[in-house]
Amino acid sequence: MVKITLVGAGSVVFSRNLVCDILQYAALEDCTLSLMDIDASRLAVIEKLVRRIITQLGLKARVEATTDLRKACTGARFVITTIQVGGYKPSTVVDFEIPAKYGVRQTIADTLGVGGVFRALRSIPKLVEVARMMQEVGAPDPVMLNYTNPMAMNMWAIDRLTGISSVGLCHSVQGTSHQLAGYCGLDPADISYRVAGINHMAFFLKFEYKGKDAYPYLFEALENPDVYACDRVRFEMMRRLGYFVTESSEHQSEYVPYFIHHGEEVIREFAVPINEYIRRCEAMTGRWDAVEKDLLDESKPVHIGKSVEYGSTIIHSIVSGVPSVIYGNVPNRGLITNITQGASVEVPCLVDKQGIQPTYIGALPPQLAAIIHTNLNVQELTVEAAITGQREYIYQAVMHDPHTATVLTLDKIWAMCDELIEAHQRDGVLGEFKPVVRNTGKPLSALERVFLSIRPEGAPFAGAATTAAFRLVAENRSGEAFAGSVRVIEKNGRLTFSEQEFRVEVAAGESVSYPFTACKAEGADEELTLSIVSDSTRTLERDSRFPVRKVIDIPLNAAEPYRFKVEWSGNEVADCALSLTGEELILEAQVDDTDARTEDHYQDGSAVEIALKDARSQQPQVWPLVVLPDRDRQPRIWQKTGFSGGDDFDGACATVEHSANGYRLKVRINREKAGIGENVPFLCDIAFHVNALGTAHGKIRHSWQASRDLRTDQSRFVVLNPVAGA
C-alpha cells in the first residue's frame, strides 16, 4: 500500500483535482492519502471532501489529516507540495505594493522579477524542510512532486541542497498545446510536439499536425487579428524568435523588457493585465464562502473529473510500471547543452518503475538560449541567496531581472529590496541574511578588518629636522577583538626606529594607537615610505609615503611673491606665484589648459586643488579646497569631503580670465578659516587638473588622462611664516 502525502492540501480545489486524478487509477485505489496544511480550517474542508470522494467511488483508500509535517511524511513514498508561504496576505500583497511604489508594475509576480525572487526566498527553506523530512522519515526512495512556484528556482535549490528524487510540475506545456491547436483550428488529438527550456520559458521546438510541421499554421494565425488578440505577447515573441513559448502572455510580459515599462499605449496594445494575480486572488477570496459551501453540499455528488496535471500519472507509472511521458522540471545534467548546467530545465521525461528519466535535447536555437539566460541569471542569484544566506545576492538577482532593470536605477533597486526584506521579515516569512555594506553588493564580513596605518605627528622631517614622531593606528572594524604582532619598516633602511615591533590588541569596534619615533640617516633627503608588516589575514596595512617638501620662506606683504612652475611630461602646465598677508594666502597662476567646464565633476576638466595643514599640529586635519574655473559663472570654491563632493567654502574667493590658450586664476584664501594661523608654519600642496593643454594638444586628449591629478615636487611646500621666527 503506497502512501501519498499532500503538503499544502489547504489549496482545496487543486487538491481535490489531484485526489480525483489519483483515485481513478486502479493501482492506487487502496492508497493512503495524508493531507497536511498549517491552516486547520482549510484542512478540515479538504479532509471532509476527500472522504466523500472515496465513499462516492467505493474505494478502500485511507485518509489522514494533520498539521504535523513529520507525521505527514512518515512512510510516504510520494509527497506533493502545493504551498504558498506567507499566503496572499500579507506576502503576495507586499510583493506587489512595495515594487509598485518604486514604479515596478507586475502581472503575476510568481516566477521571475522582484515578486518571483521574494516568493522563492520564502518558499525554498520550507520546501527544503519537506525534502529533508522525506529523506529522514519517508519510505525508501521517496519522490517529491512540486507544484509550488517559482518552479525553476525552487527545484534548482531542492536539488542542490538535498539531491532527493524530485520533479517540478506545471500544466503550461500540455495546456499551451491545446491552445495552439485551437488557434490553428486543428484537432488536439492529431497534434504532436517537442518542448524544451525552463519553466514558463520553454519553447515548442516542434509543433506537428499528423506528422508534418504545423508552424506554418501558427504563422498564418499570427496574421489573424482575432487570434492574435487572444495571446498578443506570445504571438509577438514568436514573430521575433521564431518559436512559441509555453506560458501565458500575462506571464511572458514580465519576463522580458519589451512591454510593461514602455507606457500605457504599449500596455493597451498588447493587453497586458497589470496586477492580474491580485485581481484573481481577490476574486477567489470573495467567492471562497460560496465555493466552500458548494464543495461540502452533501445533497449533490462531488464532481469527479480528470485534470491535465501530471502528478497522478507519474505516481501511477512508478507504482504500476506502466510507462508514460510527461513534461517535468529536472536538473540540467547534460540535457540542454547550451544553457547553465545544474539549472532546472523543463523537458520530456519517460516515467516507469525506474522513476523519472529525462530526455536529452542537445543545443537549443541560440536566440532561445540567449533569452532563457536572461531569466537564468535571476534564478541562479536567487538560489545562491537562499542557499548561502548572503544578502547581496538578493539585490544582484533583482538587478539582473530584465523587467526591473528597465524601470529602476541601481540605488532604487537596492532601496526597494531593503524595504521588501524588512517587510517580509517583520511578517515572519523571511529568514535572516548576512549583512552587507549599505547600498553595495559586498558582504559586510568581507570588509570587517583591522585597518593598520601610520599617522605622523606634525610634518615629518620638515626643513632640517632629522627626527619625526609617528603613531601606529589600529582601527578594528570587525565584530571580534584582535590581538597580533605588527612590525614597522622603511623599505630601504634609511630610518632607525625607537620601536619597530608592536603587540597590537584592540577590541571590536575600537581604535588604539602606539607612539614611536624615527631618525633619518644622514643624506637621506628623498621620499620615504613606511610600511607595516602583519601576518594576520584579518588586517589590512597601508603604506605611508612622506614626500620631500621644499621649504620656502615667504615674507608677509613682500614686494615680490614666491614664484614656481609646474611641468608635466615636458610641457609647462602652470606658471604660479604664492604670497602672504596677515590674513590671506594668495595663489596666482597662468594655466595652459582650455578645458575649463561649468560642471562640478572637476576630474574631467580643469581645476585646482589646494590642501593646507598646520605643520605643527598632531591632528590629521587637512583643509582640501577645490577651485573650479568656470567659463560662464563666478568660479566656485568648495571644501572637498569625498571624491568629488563637498560644501561651498566661504573663506576664499577667486577671479578668472579665460583666453584661447588657457586661463589666469587668482585665489585669495582666508588663513584663519583655512586653519593656518599667523604664527605657525603650514603645509601647502597644490594640484592642477588638466585635460587638454590648448588646441595644439586637442587631438591627444586621452594621453593626458593620467595628468588630471597632477602633482610635482614643485607644488609641495612647507611654508615658513617669518612672523613665527621659524
Interval 422-481: pLDDT, tens:
999 999 999 999 999 889 999 988 889 999 999 988 778 876 778 999 999 999 999 899
Question: What are the grid coordinates assigned to 287, written together?
Answer: 467567492
Of 504, 528, 546, the position where a domain reaches its end is 546
Predicted confidence at residue 169, as pLDDT, reads: 98
Joined together, the cell numbers standing for residue 173 give 506545456
Q: Where are the alpha helices (DSSP H) in 185-259?
A: 215-222, 225-228, 232-241, 249-252
* Digit-coded pLDDT (tens) for 312-322: 999 999 999 99
Per-residue pLDDT tens for 551-566?
Answer: 888 888 888 999 988 8
CB-count burial class (<10 Å; 0-12, 13-18, 19+) for 1: exposed
> Is 80 exceeded by the pLDDT of residue 656?
yes
What is the percentage of the chain residues whose pLDDT exceeds 70?
A: 93
Of 526, 546, 566, the position where a domain reaches its end is 546
* 719, part of any domain: yes
pLDDT value of position 78: 98
The yes-or-no verdict on residue 705 having pLDDT over 80 is no
pLDDT greater than 80 at residue 598:
no
Q: How far apart are CA 195 and CA 328, in angstroms?
A: 11
Based on DSSP, count helices (H) and strands (E) in the chain, helices before strands: 18, 33
In this structure, the answer to whether residues 605 and 518 fall within a common structural domain is no
**Which is catalytic among the residues 171, 262, 373, 658?**
171
Identify the weakest region by mean pLDDT among 101-115, 246-260, 328-342, 699-713.
699-713
At CA 575, angle to CA 611 and CA 557, rounded to 5?
70
Structure letter (DSSP) for residue 360: P
In the predicted structure, residue 170 carries a pLDDT above the cut 90: yes
Q: How confident is the model at residue 383 (pLDDT cuts 50, 70, 90)?
A: very high
Q: Both 568 and 663 in a single domain? A: yes
| Sign (positive or negative) of CA dihedral 116, 121, 124, 129 | negative
User: Quick one: 539 and 558 in the same domain?
Assistant: no
- Is 556 within 8 Å of 578 (Cβ atoms)? no
* Per-residue pLDDT band at 696 (split at 50, 70, 90): very low
Confidence grade of residue 620 (pLDDT, cut at 50, 70, 90)? low
Residue 634, CA distances (Å) to 230, 232, 357, 660 in order:
63, 57, 76, 19
Residue 360 lies in a domain: no
Residue 59 lies in a domain: no
Q: How many domains does the chain have?
A: 2
What is the per-residue pLDDT for 703? 31
Domain span at residue 498 reads 448-546
711 and 562, same structural domain? Answer: yes
Closest CA to 693 of 589, 592, 572: 592
Q: Is residue 114 a part of any domain in this protein?
A: no
Task: Verify that 472 and 518 share a domain, yes or no.
Answer: yes
Reference 606, options 713, 708, 715; nearest CA is 708
Same domain, yes or no: 462 and 509: yes
Cell of 420: 521588501
CB-based contact 492:520 (threshold 8 Å): no
Q: What are phi and psi of 644, to 5 degrees?
A: -140, -10
Confidence of residue 387 (pLDDT cuts 50, 70, 90): very high
According to the model, what pLDDT value does residue 600 have? 57
> 502-522 burial string, b = 16+ CB within 10 Å, else e?
bebebeeeeebeeebebebee
> What CATH number is attached to the domain comprising 466?
2.60.40.10
What's 654's domain CATH number? 2.60.40.1190
557 and 588 assigned to the same domain: yes
629 falls within a domain: yes
Q: Are 701 and 690 in contact (CB under 8 A)?
A: no
What would the grid cell of residue 189 be?
488529438
Regarding whether 603 and 525 lie in a shared domain, the answer is no
Pair (517, 603) in one structural domain: no
Q: Which helix (H) or strand (E) holds 124?
A: helix 113-137
Instruction: Give the three cell numbers for residue 444.
Output: 559586510
* Same domain flag for 663 and 580: yes
Contacts of 651 (CB under 8 A, 6+ apart): 669, 670, 672, 673, 674
- Asked if residue 565 and residue 631 are part of one domain, the reply reads yes
Does residue 253 lie within any of the structural domains?
no
Question: What rounded mean pLDDT belongs to the chain?
Answer: 90
Domain membership of residue 698 (yes or no) is yes
In a domain? residue 439: no
Q: Provide the terminal-to-terminal Cα distance of the chain, rounded to the nearest Å.
A: 101
Q: What is the mean pLDDT of residues 381-386?
A: 98
Do 554 and 618 fall into the same domain?
yes
Least confident of 291-295, 633-637, 638-642: 638-642
Q: How do strand 682-689 and strand 550-553 relate by DSSP bridges?
A: unpaired
Last residue of a domain, which of 497, 515, 546? 546
Between CA 208 and CA 313 the distance in angstroms is: 24
- Residue 190's pLDDT band (cuts 50, 70, 90): very high
Q: How big is the CA angle at 259 (ends 257 and 265), to the nearest 5 degrees?
A: 145
The Cα 585–Cα 607 span in angstroms is 18
Quick one: pLDDT at residue 691?
Answer: 67
178 catalytic per annotation: no
